[in-house]
């Protein structure tokens, strides 16, 4: 239990707005990371921990999924925000039975997500029994028996949903999905459903695999890198070092974003002298300040300009040989792109025709182009189509499957990509299910399961009544907070396997369990032997991660031990899966993975190599495209963009520099010049004036959503301070998760069913 309550109470209206910073990292970043570490865990543990971060013998950073440079791991291969992620997990503050005795669930519900997270690591399994106001301790075996009992009591296995957040290791993810499929359902929603699902949908259809096709050396050697809808200075800071290197090698970088994000504009590498003095390196050569949702129009417009340039100078722009040998659908796509109206492109993007032409010229001049993207593209109604139009652009010039070129969806959670590889997906293909069945003598269900949005619908409609969360913070990360909370409250049982306290522990079913687990930094000993787990980064490299810190208490169990414990209670001692052996030795899990998942042959040996190993990627490795046509598919996508309705604004919800998703590290967004509060709305000065407000006014946000039956639904989020900011007219920005109550559950991307967190129609109401 901690005594830090006072230190972290705050008045949201103490927010201070300064000038936004035009550079990222530098000395302040080093100072912030050390200060946060020392606050949370003292100087000795801080030094010991940061030394092990992303080192060969250390643990994988629980922050983002950006890869380490192969063969070049230097000391301190971490960034400010990686250090914050580690400090958050390695904290010596704890939340145990006394804490829960002192705080009722309703007391805790009144606290902010920031306050909850600051209380420390969960140390004991806890249960909230029906009608009780407080969580109480429970033994592990009793908790497992309770879960097994509730699961067995369901009329169908499909009445349970099993969520996964992307920090779970490969081994834990593999045993988790195995337990769920042996139980009889594919209801495996995950954070990826809300994240890069649009990338997966778009890439599988076009190039046959939902993963990025480039490596760090490819980026370092590219001629041209487009970075669209991504804020690497905050969310993937180590990517800036790669970009800096690319620039040193002559690359041009074009940033496409409604906001002039700090890391893109200038970057100071704190590990280099010139990062500490001087102005740093300018990362972006061009900044295209695009309107929210305008990217598809931009990519289509660029496609048209490339085709016209080829017409003018045949043989100089398109890669005809690549198109003929490796692609399908070129003629239809070209015909479609040729009729794109450039006036519409200008209106949709807010860019001038000169800017668009200059970007086309940069593409034409480049022999090696990479397009990077993240949530600004995926969390849009037309996210899948936008990414497919980006792929069209690359295919026109043969930019897939050659060094220095390709697609680069930059992943979020540190092992979100690995979890998918391990089978965390509601619609794994038959080949995977058949191999799983053959390995374990089970019969996996074949019908697809529920994703995140459909899980909420099922719980809301009484069709699912047990929720299990393997990490994450489902209640706060999902859209439509009121609906989602009601859905979870309707459950018979909610179970959260977690490291830290969050709101999902407080919005519960009739009975609720909190199961405290080890994190990435913790030492994991089973059967007297130190265990290690593996992860896959954003570029399909798999390597080991070994925690080394003393766990927050002797009751904590690894995610693997927790899953295997539930499975043993559920299936009894004579099950065909060796659950007990799996817990005792993670090598046994890897042996099974090696037989089930292609690319993992000889897993235990390969993963022990110095930098682990890379997974096969047919388009990258051999220009082989495992699609319906056997070729890379050009696609024809109807153009969508987002005109701003009269008197309304389009809101994007994003991360501050001081948070990890729903985990709030602090209340400052240094790069955007905001201090001491999160309830802010970034808005163009001209919009402030046009709507009759002044800088600093406080407003409520009301989202407007036309339901399929034609009625307009309204949702509210109260009390935001207006902050004048260089964002396009009609486009505003605020932080997630405070704004999640505004996002209608049905406001999802076509095909991927991803919540549209980056384009919500709102109006403002003055606070009286
Ligand atoms: N420190 C830290 N690191 C993280 C995370 C974190 O919360 N904190 N989260 C992790 C996770 S799970 C993920 S998915 C990634 C997220 O990484 P990002 O995708 O970088 O995260 P967001 O803050 O959502 O930023 C979205 C960016 O897209 C821009 N944008 C919004 N709408 C549009 C649009 O229509 N077009 C274009 N071109 N741009 C647009 C926004 O201005 C913003 O710069 O980061 C991962 N890493
Ligand atoms: N409005 C809006 N909503 C969004 C987004 C957005 O941009 N805007 N982004 C979406 C995206 S990209 C994502 S990925 C999701 C994120 O959704 P989630 O992954 O569900 O959310 P997190 O906040 O990352 O989860 C944090 C919790 O995970 C637990 N945890 C941390 N490490 C571990 C571990 O090692 N093991 C276990 N068992 N638990 C652990 C801790 O208890 C912590 O409180 O949110 C989505 N929601
Ligand atoms: Mo994410």
Model confidence over 416-469: pLDDT tens digits? 999 999 999 999 999 999 999 999 999 999 999 999 999 999 999 999 999 999
CA distance 645 to 728: 14
* Residue 167 within a domain: yes
In order of 87, 237, 638, the CA distances from 34 in angstroms are 9, 16, 49
Model pLDDT for residues 488-504, shown as the tens digit of each residue: 999 999 999 999 999 99
In a shared domain, residues 596 and 743? no
Q: Is the pLDDT of residue 55 over 80?
A: no
CB atoms within 10 A of CB 288: 23
The CATH number assigned to the domain holding 685 equals 2.40.40.20
CB atoms within 10 A of CB 22: 15
Q: Can you give the three-state secondary structure of 564-575, one letter per residue?
A: HHHHHHHHCCCC
* Mean model confidence pLDDT for the chain: 92
The CATH number assigned to the domain holding 598 equals 3.40.50.740
* Residue 367 within a domain: yes
CA distance 341 to 337: 9
Ligand approaching nearest to the C-alpha of 538: 1
DSSP per-residue letters across 176-213: HHHHHHHHT-----BGGGGTTHHHHHHHHHHHS-SS--
**Nearest C-alpha to atom 28 of ligand 2 is from which residue?**
472
Q: Is the pLDDT of residue 485 over 70?
A: yes
Mean pLDDT confidence for 473-489: 98
Model pLDDT for residues 380-401, shown as the tens digit of each residue: 999 999 999 999 999 999 999 9
In order of 191, 306, 387, the CA distances from 449 in angstroms are 15, 42, 25
The more confident residue out of 636 and 84 is 636
**Nearest C-alpha to atom 33 of ligand 1 is from which residue?**
376
* Residue 599 within a domain: yes
Structure tokens given for 475:
């209640």
In a shared domain, residues 391 and 478? no
Distance 260 CA to ligand 2 centre (A): 26
DSSP assignment letter at 167: T
pTM recorded for the entire structure: 0.95
From 374, 390, 653, 730, give the residue whose CB has the most ligand 1 atoms within 8 Å, as the site to mutate: 374
Model pLDDT for residues 255-302, shown as the tens digit of each residue: 999 999 988 877 666 655 444 444 567 789 999 999 999 999 999 999
* Residue 98 within a domain: no
In a shared domain, residues 220 and 155? no
In 3-state terms, what secondary structure has residue 422? coil
What pLDDT is attached to residue 29? 67
Identify the CA nearest to 387 among candidates 373, 405, 401: 373
In a shared domain, residues 422 and 465? yes
In a shared domain, residues 581 and 713? no
Mean pLDDT confidence for 714-737: 97
What pLDDT is attached to residue 88? 85
| Helical segments of 559-641, H only | 559-571, 579-584, 586-596, 603-606, 618-622
In a shared domain, residues 482 and 527? yes
DSSP assignment letter at 298: H
In 3-state terms, what secondary structure has residue 513? strand
Identify the CA nearest to 233 among candidates 29, 411, 371: 29
The CATH number assigned to the domain holding 210 equals 3.40.228.10
* Residue 740 within a domain: yes
Q: Which atom of ligand 2 is nearest to the CA of 116?
A: 44
In a shared domain, residues 162 and 215? no
* Cβ 681 vs Cβ 720: under 8 Å: yes
Q: How many residues does the chain have?
A: 768
Whether the CB of 195 sits within 6 Å of ligand 1? yes
Strand order in the sheet with 466-470: 136-137, 126-128, 511-516, 493-498, 466-470, 160-164
Structure tokens given for 720:
């935001």
Q: Is the pLDDT of residue 93 over 70?
A: yes
* Residue 38 within a domain: no
Q: Of 362, 393, 409, which residue is a domain's last?
A: 409
What pLDDT is attached to residue 10? 36
CB atoms within 10 A of CB 252: 18
Give bridge partners of residue 536 from the DSSP assignment.
Answer: 542
In a shared domain, residues 315 and 428? no
Mean pLDDT confidence for 145-174: 98
Burial class (CB in 10 A: 0-12, 13-18, 19+), 424: buried
CA distance 613 to 606: 6
CA distance 460 to 322: 49
Model pLDDT for residues 182-195, shown as the tens digit of each residue: 999 999 999 999 99
Distance 300 CA to ligand 2 centre (A): 33
What pLDDT is attached to residue 264? 83
Q: Of 351, 382, 409, which residue is a domain's last?
A: 409
* Mean pLDDT lowest among 515-519, 554-558, 666-670, 679-683: 666-670
Q: Of 409, 426, 452, which residue is a domain's last?
A: 409
Structure tokens given for 697:
């006014």
**Nearest C-alpha to atom 27 of ligand 2 is from which residue?**
472
| Helical segments of 461-558, H only | 474-477, 481-489
In a shared domain, residues 333 and 201? yes
What pLDDT is attached to residue 157? 98
Structure tokens given for 741:
């109550």
CA distance 581 to 591: 12
Mean pLDDT confidence for 4-9: 31
The more confident residue out of 62 and 55 is 62
Ligand approaching nearest to the C-alpha of 59: 2
* Cβ 329 vs Cβ 633: under 8 Å: yes
What pLDDT is attached to residue 381? 98
Whether the CB of 473 sits within 6 Å of ligand 1? no
CA angle at 374 for the pair 351 and 740, rounded to the nearest 5°: 95
CA distance 255 to 347: 19
Residues 6+ apart with CB under 8 A from 47: none
Q: Is the pLDDT of residue 1 over 60?
A: no
Report the number of distinct structural domains present in the chain. 3
Q: Which atom of ligand 1 is nearest to the CA of 731?
A: 32
**Nearest C-alpha to atom 18 of ligand 2 is from which residue?**
472
What pLDDT is attached to residue 196? 98
In a shared domain, residues 440 and 513? yes
Whether the CB of 163 sits within 6 Å of ligand 2? no
**Domain enclosing residue 361, as ranges:** 197-409
* Residue 33 within a domain: no
CA distance 700 to 765: 5
Q: Can you give the three-state secondary structure of 257-290, one letter per residue?
A: CCCCCHHHHCEECCCCHHHHCCCCECCCCEEECC
Mean pLDDT confidence for 604-608: 97
Q: Is the pLDDT of residue 96 over 90?
A: yes
Structure tokens given for 659:
């948070």
Distance 52 CA to ligand 2 centre (A): 24
* Cβ 669 vs Cβ 733: under 8 Å: no
Residue with tokens 């620039």: 247
Identify the CA nearest to 213 among candidates 423, 427, 390, 451: 390
Under the banding of pLDDT at 50, 70 and 90, the label for residue 109 is very high
CA distance 498 to 496: 6
In order of 705, 706, 712, 741, 753, the CA distances from 709 in angstroms are 11, 8, 9, 21, 20
Whether the CB of 517 sits within 6 Å of ligand 2? yes
In a shared domain, residues 188 and 204? no
What pLDDT is attached to residue 63? 77
In 3-state terms, what secondary structure has residue 536? strand
In a shared domain, residues 583 and 488? yes
Q: Is the pLDDT of residue 26 over 70?
A: no
Q: Which atom of ligand 1 is nearest to the CA of 413?
A: 12
* Cβ 559 vs Cβ 169: under 8 Å: yes
* Residue 266 within a domain: yes
- The percentage of residues in the chain with a pLDDT greater than 70, rounded to a whole number, is 92
């Amino acid at each position: 239990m901690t005594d830090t309550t006072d230190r972290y109470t705050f008045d949201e209206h103490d927010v201070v707005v300064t000038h936004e910073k035009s550079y990222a990292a530098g000395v302040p970043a080093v100072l912030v990371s050390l200060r946060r570490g020392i606050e949370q865990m003292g100087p000795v543990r801080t030094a010991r921990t940061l030394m092990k971060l992303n080192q060969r013998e250390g643990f994988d950073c629980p922050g983002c999924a950006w890869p380490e440079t192969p063969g070049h791991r230097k000391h301190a291969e971490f960034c400010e925000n990686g250090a914050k992620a580690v400090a958050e997990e390695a904290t010596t503050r704890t939340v145990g039975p006394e804490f829960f005795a002192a705080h009722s669930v309703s007391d805790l519900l009144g606290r902010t997500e920031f306050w909850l997270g600051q209380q420390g690591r969960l140390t004991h399994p806890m249960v909230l029994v029906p009608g009780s106001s407080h969580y109480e301790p429970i033994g592990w075996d009793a908790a497992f028996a309770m879960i097994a009992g509730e699961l067995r009591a369901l009329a169908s296995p499909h009445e349970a949903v099993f969520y996964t957040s992307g920090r779970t290791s490969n081994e834990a993810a593999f045993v988790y999905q195995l337990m769920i499929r042996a139980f009889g359902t594919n209801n495996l929603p995950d954070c990826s459903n809300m994240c890069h699902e649009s990338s997966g949908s778009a890439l599988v259809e076009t190039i046959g695999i939902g993963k990025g096709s480039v490596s760090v050396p490819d980026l370092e050697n590219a001629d041209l890198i487009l970075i669209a809808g991504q804020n690497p200075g905050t969310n993937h800071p180590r990517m800036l070092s790669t970009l800096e290197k690319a620039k040193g090698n002559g690359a041009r970088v074009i940033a496409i974003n409604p906001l002039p994000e700090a890391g893109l504009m200038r970057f100071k590498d704190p590990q280099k002298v010139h990062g500490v003095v001087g102005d740093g390196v300018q990362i972006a050569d061009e900044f295209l300040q695009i309107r929210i949702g305008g990217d598809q129009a931009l990519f289509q417009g660029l496609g048209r300009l490339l085709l016209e340039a080829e017409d003018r100078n045949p043989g100089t722009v398109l890669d005809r040989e690549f198109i003929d040998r490796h692609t399908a659908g070129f003629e239809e796509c070209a015909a479609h792109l040729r009729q794109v109206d450039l006036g519409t492109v200008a209106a949709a993007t807010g860019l001038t025709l000169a800017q668009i032409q200059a970007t086309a010229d940069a593409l034409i001049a480049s022999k090696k182009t990479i397009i990077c993207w993240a949530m600004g593209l995926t969390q849009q109604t037309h996210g899948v189509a936008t990414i497919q139009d980006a792929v069209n652009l690359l295919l026109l010039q043969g930019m897939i499957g050659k060094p220095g070129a390709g697609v680069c969806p930059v992943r979020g959670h540190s092992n979100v990509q690995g979890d998918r590889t391990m089978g965390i997906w509601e619609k794994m293909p038959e080949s995977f299910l058949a191999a799983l069945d053959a390995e374990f003598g089970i019969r996996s269900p074949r019908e697809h399961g529920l994703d995140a949005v459909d899980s909420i619908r099922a719980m809301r409609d009484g069709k699912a009544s047990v929720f299990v969360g393997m990490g994450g913070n489902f209640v706060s990360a999902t859209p439509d907070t009121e609906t989602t909370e009601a859905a979870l409250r309707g459950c018979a049982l909610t179970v959260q396997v977690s490291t830290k306290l969050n709101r999902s522990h407080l919005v519960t079913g009739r009975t609720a369990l909190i199961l405290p687990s080890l994190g990435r930094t913790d030492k994991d000993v089973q059967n007297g032997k130190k265990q290690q787990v593996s992860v896959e980064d954003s570029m399909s490299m798999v390597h080991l991660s070994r925690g080394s810190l003393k766990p927050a208490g002797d009751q904590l169990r690894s995610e693997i031990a927790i899953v295997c414990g539930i499975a043993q209670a559920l299936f009894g001692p004579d099950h065909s899966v060796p659950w007990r052996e799996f817990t005792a030795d993670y090598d046994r899990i890897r042996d099974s993975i090696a037989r089930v998942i292609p690319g993992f042959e000889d897993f235990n040996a390969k993963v022990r190599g110095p930098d682990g190993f890379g997974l096969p990627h047919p388009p990258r490795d051999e220009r082989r495209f495992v699609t319906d046509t056997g070729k890379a598919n050009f696609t024809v996508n109807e153009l969508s963009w987002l005109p701003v309705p009269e008197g309304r604004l389009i809101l994007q919800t994003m991360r501050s520099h001081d948070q990890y998703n729903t985990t709030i590290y602090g209340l400052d967004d240094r790069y955007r010049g905001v201090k001491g509060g999160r309830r802010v709305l970034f808005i163009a000065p001209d919009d402030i004036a046009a709507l009759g407000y002044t800088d600093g006014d406080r407003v409520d946000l009301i989202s407007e959503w036309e339901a399929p039956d034609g009625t307009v639904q309204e949702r509210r989020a109260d009390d935001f301070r207006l902050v004048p900011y260089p964002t396009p007219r009609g486009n505003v920005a605020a932080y997630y998760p405070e704004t999640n109550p505004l996002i209608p559950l049905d406001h999802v991307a076509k095909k991927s069913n991803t919540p549209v967190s980056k384009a919500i129609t709102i109006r403002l109401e003055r606070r009286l």
